[in-house]
Amino acid sequence: MQADGTIHSPIWILFEFGERERDMAGLLIPPPETGAGGGNGNEGVFDAAHVAEVKTWLKSVFEAVGREVPEFELTPQSVQHLHNICTLSQKRTQAATIVAADLRQKASEFRAEAARVREMLDCAGLSQENLSQGGVASAHTLATVAHLLDINNMETSSFLLAMAELSLKKADIEEKRSKAQKESKMLLDNTRKAIARLTYLKRTLAQLEEEAAAREGPMMQWQTNLKMMASKERQYLQQLANYKAVLSRLGYTSEISHGVLMQMMEIRKELERKTKPILDTLRSYQDLPPDKTLAELAIEEKRKEYEEAEKYLEEALHSALNTPNE
């Protein structure tokens, strides 16, 4: 090992293997143990049991492939790392041994069952040698179909049940496919609408930016005008305050203001409008004589004038009626 910690030995392959195994199995490697004095990474207490177990495991592994165990430097970190790899490897080897034994047992059972079925077929005269080429092909086809349908026997009911299950799965898949197509179509429509909306918004944004750029000049002018109007407002308010002070010194009151005078004029016009009919009636009475006797004479004179006018009207009517007879 050099000063930078690089291991110049074939044992580095085991370290890389250990890293991959640790990542897959989720095995956390504890930090290396250090001595009581807190030494550096190459100092610490070795676990004799771990060292012996690691050496035994390395020897068995390399002897299995016909190689010798390479030389490497023993450090607490390397021993701990190799011990973790050893533990994981032994667990997996044990699991693989159990699975292999189970598979071998199943294989022996399958071979025994195949021998029994072959014996039954031979007794019935249905061995492979006695079948035609088409029969052999049909048997292979049935076996393939049974394997694909995952059935354990060649009965018609098993095939029918498997086919019914496939039909149900097919219907379910078709329903899911139809649903997925509808959802896909809806998503496509929504995407198109979103794209159209986005295009419209982009175009609107561009128009607004153009309008904002075009109206920036008038807006600056309006801001200038607003500042000027605010200045004028302050000036007018100051002048108004000055005028109020002058009027106050001159004895001006609200009773003689323009608004009050205009209101009084409106009231006067309203009174004149209400009294005008009464005045007209009174003026008509001024044509009568002031004395009762004279009034009676005047009335009698008017009555005579009325009678004369009525008589004249009758004569005119009679003359008009008699004119055609002549």
Amino acid code (one letter) for 65:
V
CA 88, 91, 92 angle in degrees (round to 5)? 85
Instruction: Give Cα 218 distance to the centre of its chain.
Output: 40
Amino acid code (one letter) for 99:
V
The better pLDDT of the pair 180, 317 is held by 180
Of 21, 29, 19, 9, the residue nearest 80 (C-alpha): 29
Burial of 62 (0-12, 13-18, 19+ CB in 10 A): middle
What are the structural domain ranges in the chain? Answer: 11-112, 254-285, 291-326
Distances (CA, A) of 57 to 7, 62, 123, 226: 20, 9, 54, 93
> Which structure tokens are listed for 207?
């128009």
Token pair 């000036």 is at which residue? 235
Secondary structure class of 181 (helix, strand, coil): helix
Query: Per-residue pLDDT tens for 103-143?
Result: 999 999 988 988 887 888 778 777 777 777 887 788 788 77
The better pLDDT of the pair 83, 285 is held by 83
Query: Per-residue pLDDT tens for 177-231?
Result: 999 999 999 999 999 999 999 999 999 999 999 988 888 888 898 999 999 999 9
pLDDT at 299 > cutoff 90: no
pLDDT given for residue 255 in this prediction: 65
pLDDT given for residue 88 in this prediction: 92
Cα–Cα distance, 24 to 33 (Å, whole number): 25
